[in-house]
């Protein structure tokens, strides 16, 4: 059995996606498919938070769940939009945290992910709006924006040596996130994914940016396929 921890999006401050409604429909579909037991780690009300507050919240949630349920590395960390950013940022936090660590997940599943923050601003059809969101979440130092962007990480082998699967799902009609985000992340993971026993996969989802979680089927499909990929990798390694 694999555990699935969902990190919702919302541009680091939108109150619409919540711990209650974000994964509800996807969870129903996953239960019906019988592929996994699923939980969601709530982020709480982070609208006034600034980096690394969001990330610390995610790390604390994972640590709590691991202490309580003892599932080790048998979990997938799935994030939508900025939730995908946070999922990959946990790798850097893991390497920096010397006080208490969490067991790193076998797979990360990004859905409509934001992987290069300066690029997000540069390609946004309304740049001032995106700039405002990024400043609210990360401050005014744009060097930091780049440093915390998963697509700029220079050494995934060091950050995630035990990882097995990186999935990037994208929405065909995404009105908010360019496919260039997908391309830059795929390039960043290229060397990491060439090692035996690992996979880097892309998944195409129908609909717009938020349809994957609002309707549930897109998010559920991405997670179910990812669990299947992980099980295939595990069977090869045994």
Nearest to 223 by CA among 59, 52, 22: 22
- Grouping H, G, I as helix, E, B as strand and the rest as coil, residue 128 is helix
Task: Say which DSSP state 170 is in.
Answer: E
Task: Say which DSSP state 103 is in.
Answer: P
With 0-12 / 13-18 / 19 or more C-beta atoms within 10 angstroms meaning exposed / middle / buried, residue 19 is: middle
* C-alpha count within 13 angstroms, C-beta hemisphere, residue 88: 30
Q: Is 221 known to be catalytic?
A: no
| Active-site option among 33, 60, 78, 81 | 81
Pairing of strands 75-80, 39-40: unpaired
Q: Which two tokens stand for residue 111?
A: 């859905």
Catalytic residues: 81
């Amino acid at each position: 059995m694999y555990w699935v921890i969902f990190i919702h999006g919302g541009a680091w401050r939108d109150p619409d996606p919540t711990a209650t409604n974000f994964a509800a429909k996807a969870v129903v579909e996953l239960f019906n498919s019988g592929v996994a037991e699923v939980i969601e780690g709530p982020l709480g009300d982070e609208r006034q938070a600034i980096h690394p507050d969001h990330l610390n919240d995610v790390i604390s949630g994972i640590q709590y769940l691991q202490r309580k349920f003892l599932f080790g590395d048998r979990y997938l960390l799935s994030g939508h939009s900025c939730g995908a950013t946070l999922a990959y940022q946990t790798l850097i936090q893991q390497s920096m945290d010397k006080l208490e660590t969490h067991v790193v997940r076998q797979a990360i599943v990004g859905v409509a992910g934001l992987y290069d923050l300066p690029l997000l601003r540069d390609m946004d059809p309304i740049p001032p709006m995106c700039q405002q969101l990024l400043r609210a979440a990360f401050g005014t130092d744009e060097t930091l924006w780049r440093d915390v962007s998963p697509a700029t990480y220079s050494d995934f082998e060091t950050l995630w040596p035990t990882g097995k699967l990186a999935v990037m799902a994208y929405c065909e009609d995404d009105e908010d996130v360019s496919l260039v985000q997908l391309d830059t992340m795929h390039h960043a993971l290229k060397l990491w994914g060439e090692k035996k026993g690992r996979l880097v996969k892309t998944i195409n989802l129908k609909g717009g940016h938020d349809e994957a979680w609002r309707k549930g089927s897109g998010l559920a499909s991405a997670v179910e396929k990812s669990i299947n990929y992980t099980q295939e990798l595990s069977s090869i390694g045994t």
